[in-house]
Structure 1
Amino acid sequence: MTTVHRPSWLTPPPSDGPRHTLHIVSGKGGTGKTTIAGSLACALATDGRRVLLCEVEGRDAISQLFNTDSLRNRGERRLIKTPDGGTVYGLAMDPENALMEYLETFYHLGLAGKALDRFGVVDFATSIAPGLQDVLLTGKVYEVARRLIKGLPNAYDAVVLDAPPTGRIAKFLNVHDAVADLAKVGPIRGQADSINAVLHSEHTVVHLVTLLEDMPITETVEAIDDLTPTKIELGAVIANMITPTSLDQDQLALAAEHRLPIAVPGLSDVANKALADEFAVDAQRMLAEHQRRLRLQQLDRPLVQVDLDPFGIEVESLFGIAATLQDQLADEVRA
């Protein structure tokens, strides 16, 4: 394990803000990690707080979630005002723009950098050094998160990153190893060390989104195993799209075995039987979800449970999930 040097400028997060500055949200594809990331940003945006929601996969997922124009090449844009009085902003990152910013910041290659882009040098650089792409993307995340630490006027109270999926998250955050073969000294190495310091500080936490299904849970367990040696703080496991029910386990077991009487007035015996059959299938699924929930509880991580919205996800739905996150992550949000 590489020793992480803590620079003198790295002060703790403000006591009157969220517990962490940088919230990294990962999950297997299809678990709704972008929805949870967007909802978490809304949950953190209270009482005048400014929260930035970032994406790095080039999917335009944030703009689709908030039903707005594409964020590509548009910088930091206001997305929405929350009912709790905060504001969420969005930023879509890509390696090319991140490299252009890097060249301008450290080498003052404004127009020359654009010329390199036209000649395909950017694509060439990121293709021969794949680790450079992750360093550039995490570097941009680091830059916006560091504004609060530095007390800059354009700072955000929190930054939420819709990160790569669980199968790649540990490698994505392993900036030190990514840079080891790229640079021993110089600006790239210096920036990587600063990024590493923030990622390993009390400013950063990783939340993992899953479903109560076998494959997503397995990937969540593997991600925890991969992230634990990095010493980056692990936060909550968020079980998303849970089937809500008012029945207890005994009642679900009876329904699954067709032993829970169902007789809807006005329906024929055939229709009632069809309803009972359908309910039995749903009960079996909910019993299976319960067993998988027990597996997640054994991970010894805070477990957040978000119910399935049968009407789908719209902007207003995000506020409902945000309220759930505020309730179950109260110490994290500090609303």
Structure 2
Amino acid sequence: MAPQTTSSTPDWPKVRLHVVTGKGGTGKSTVAASLALALASHGKNVLLCEVEGRQGIARMFDVDPLPYAERPIARGLRREDERPPGVVHALHIDPESALLEYLAMYYKLGRAGKALDRFGVIEFATTIAPGVRDVLLTGKVFEAVQRNSRNKNAIEYDAVVLDAPPTGRIGQFLNVSGELAGLAKVGPIKNQSDTMMTLFRSPRTAIHLVTVLEEMPVQETHDGIVELRAAGLPVGGVVVNSVRPRDIGDDDLARARAGTLDREALAADLKAGGVEASDVLLDGLLLQAHDHAERRDLEDGQRALVADFGVPVYELPRLAGGVDLGGLYDLAATLRDQGMA
């Protein structure tokens, strides 16, 4: 069964950093954007970050490609009490810009840092050691959550939503201290990674996993939860995306799956609607009904597996017309109604 709606109290009131991951193709970027809009509906200022270089946020919100700078891109859902919603800002994080900012903030290397960039030192530093790259990417997210005096005039956010790498890499991406263990045992990068881990392993962080009701994504979601828990990282909820409408009763589904639907009754319904019920049309409709019933049966089996993961589960409907900005707001409303935000 689909999740029931909850009270107005959200499930994650203490969380400042929402990390959204999922197997490729499950719609994790869509869920991250919808979650940001839902959080902003409570009057919160929210930062939506991406780190994979695809400019997915710009495409979803139909804005120009994002620079390495925080930009307002939308307002949250309007509230029934007419209080103004918060603002969603967006940030496209790339490791080279993050390293330049890191050098400027912590070592006062303004022009010198740019000179290093011209000589290719930045590219070398961020490609020779993947662990360093992840520290820089996650370091910027950490800074947005833990704003301090080093970043003057910066916006203080009530929540940060990270559109993170896929499930297969999320443990490595967030467990930056462990990934750097063999590379940097001392020094500022090691100290920064250790400090970030105090946030990533705290109740202020929740790592949400996105799946669809198919065997491989559900299995990868389960494996991701096991990996995150083994690393001491806080698992949030599971968002089941692209759920098919449940507008056919269980009895009719059972008959469709068994091939015992009433052919004459179907022909009479078509005729009543002004459609000529030819044998070819009836055969095609009955075949589609059988395939749909089989698919629903498989999905129900995967839904039962997800329910046993021991975490809150949220469901988002499949949008027939695809996901545009209006669709993001619809999904945001669903997440809010189900208590995720």
TM-score, length of structure 2 as denominator length: 0.88
Question: In the alignment, what sits opposite 1:286?
Answer: 296
| Pairing of 1:188-199 with structure 2 (within 5 A) | 188-199=189-200
Question: In the alignment, what sits opposite 1:81?
Answer: 75
The counterpart of 2:21, out of the listed 26, 47, 51, is 26
Structure 1 stretch displaced more, 221-230 or 256-265: 256-265
Q: Deviations over 1:206-238 (max 9, x none)?
A: 000001011111111111111111222111111
Q: Tell me the CA shift for residue 128 of structure 1.
A: 1.9
Question: In the alignment, what sits opposite 1:181?
Answer: 182
Structure 1 stretch displaced more, 137-146 or 223-232: 223-232
Which 4+ runs in 1 deviate beyond 3 A?
A: none
Distance 2:42 2:295 in 1: 40
Distance 1:155 1:267 in 2: 63
Question: In the alignment, what sits opposite 1:4?
Answer: none
CA RMSD, Structure 1 to Structure 2 (Å): 2.1
Q: Secondary structure at the match of 1:180?
A: coil
Identity, % of aligned pairs?
Answer: 45
Structure 1 stretch displaced more, 269-278 or 125-134: 269-278
| Structure 1 unaligned residues grouped into runs of 5+ | 1-14
Matched, 1:230 2:231: yes
The total of aligned residue pairs comes to 315
Q: Is the 8 Å Cα contact of residues 253 and 287 (structure 1) preserved in structure 2? A: no
Question: In the alignment, what sits opposite 1:11?
Answer: none
Q: Secondary structure at the match of 2:131?
A: helix
Q: Is the 8 Å Cα contact of residues 77 and 332 (structure 2) preserved in structure 1? A: no
Q: Deviations over 1:233-276 (max 9, x none)?
A: 11111110011122243321211222223232233232233222
| Structure 2 unaligned residues grouped into runs of 5+ | 1-9, 79-84
TM-score, length of structure 1 as denominator length: 0.89
Q: Is the 8 Å Cα contact of residues 52 and 158 (structure 1) preserved in structure 2? A: yes
Q: Is the 8 Å Cα contact of residues 18 and 158 (structure 1) preserved in structure 2? A: no
Question: In the alignment, what sits opposite 2:133?
Answer: 133
Distance 1:217 1:275 in 2: 30
The counterpart of 1:42, out of the listed 37, 43, 55, is 37
| Pairing of 1:252-271 with structure 2 (within 5 A) | 252-261=253-262, 262-263=266-267, 264-265=270-271, 266-270=275-279, 271=281
Q: Is the 8 Å Cα contact of residues 60 and 72 (structure 1) preserved in structure 2? A: no
Q: Tell me the CA shift for residue 283 of structure 1.
A: 1.7
Q: Tell me the CA shift for residue 153 of structure 1.
A: 6.6
Change (3 A) 1:18 1:51: farther
Question: In the alignment, what sits opposite 1:245?
Answer: 246
Distance 1:210 1:72 in 2: 29
Q: Secondary structure at the match of 2:180?
A: helix
Q: Deviations over 1:18-55 (max 9, x none)?
A: 43100000000000000000000011002431111000
* Larger radius of gyration between Structure 1 and Structure 2: 2
Amino acid at match of 2:90: G
Question: In the alignment, what sits opposite 2:5?
Answer: none
The counterpart of 1:314, out of the listed 324, 331, 336, is 324
Change (3 A) 1:259 1:324: same
